[in-house]
């Protein structure tokens, strides 16, 4: 199990677009591939609307503000300001990355793991159910807010689980390529599941878009 502990400065170094673009396009809130009520009864329409249009939108807006300040600081060679912006870039950039993956990871129709992904899961975890159990434990066990992840380790060429605090982005902080993430910030479930995080984590496997996870796995192996 990996914990996401690399510094905020590492996140900046790993995101060349943030640091190098003299003229950049602003980040935008991605459209959902389904309606707000499409994931019911697992996730309510109320939660989805707040989560997407308020929380994710805030990460996007704050990331744009931080990048504008960063660009100005770079133009002035203001090292102190550049360093001071690292936490905002990591938090809001991570929030944008994580949620963009999260929406695609879910589907009203759910589905089942199959093909090369399923074989890899069996190879590295013994069975799909064993992987679900371990990932659930990682997600439920996050202290405070954060994410549980299924990722791909290019060095070992194996699947691996990780738990990340706050909005720490998986790849920039652990090197693992994100395949499937479970958001365990309270805004993702509290209105519906109250303080019973395990029930939310258990239910979310009913709406996993395994096709998306499989495509991410195939891409991760090729890159």
Does 52 appear as a known binding residue?
A: no
Please check the confidence at residue 4 and state whether its pLDDT lies above 90.
no
Does 35 appear as a known binding residue?
A: no
Residue 117 burial class via C-beta count within 10 angstroms: exposed 0-12, middle 13-18, buried 19 and up: buried
- Helix, strand, coil shares of the chain, percent, nearest 5, are 55, 10, 30
pLDDT above 70 coverage of the chain, percent: 89
Does 55 appear as a known binding residue?
A: no
Residue with tokens 């996140």: 11
Does 78 appear as a known binding residue?
A: no
- Predicted confidence (pLDDT) per residue in 47-87, tens digit: 999 999 999 999 999 999 999 999 999 999 999 999 999 99
Domains and CATH numbers, the chain: 42-222 (3.55.40.20)
- Predicted confidence (pLDDT) per residue in 13-46, tens digit: 555 444 444 566 899 999 999 999 999 999 999 9
Distance CA 42, CA 203 (A): 6
The mean predicted confidence, pLDDT, of the chain is 93
Report yes or no on whether pTM surpasses 0.75: yes
Q: What confidence score (pLDDT) does residue 223 get?
A: 83
Q: What confidence score (pLDDT) does residue 25 get?
A: 87
Distance CA 219, CA 204 (A): 24
Pick from 139, 141, 140, 157: which is nearest to 149 by CA?
139
| Count of residues in the chain | 223
């Amino acid at each position: 199990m990996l914990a996401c502990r690399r510094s905020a400065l590492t996140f900046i170094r790993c995101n060349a677009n943030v640091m190098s673009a003299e003229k950049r396009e602003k980040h935008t809130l991605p459209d959902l591939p389904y309606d707000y009520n499409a994931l019911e009864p697992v996730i309510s329409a109320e939660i989805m609307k707040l989560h997407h249009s308020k929380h994710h939108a805030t990460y996007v807006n704050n990331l744009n503000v931080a990048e504008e300040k960063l660009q100005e600081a770079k133009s002035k060679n203001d090292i102190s300001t550049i360093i001071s912006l690292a936490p905002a870039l990591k938090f809001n950039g991570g929030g944008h990355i994580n949620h963009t993956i999260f929406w695609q990871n879910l589907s009203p129709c759910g589905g089942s793991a199959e093909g090369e992904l399923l074989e890899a899961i069996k190879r590295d975890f013994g069975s799909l159910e064993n992987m679900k159990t371990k990932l659930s434990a990682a997600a439920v066990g996050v202290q405070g807010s954060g994410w549980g992840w299924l990722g791909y380790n290019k060095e070992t060429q194996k699947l691996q689980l990780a738990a990340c605090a706050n909005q720490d982005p998986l790849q920039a902080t652990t090197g693992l390529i994100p395949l499937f993430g479970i958001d365990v910030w309270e805004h993702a479930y509290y209105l519906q599941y109250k303080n019973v995080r395990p029930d939310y984590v258990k239910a979310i496997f009913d709406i996993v878009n395994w096709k998306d996870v499989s495509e991410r796995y195939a891409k991760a192996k090729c890159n």
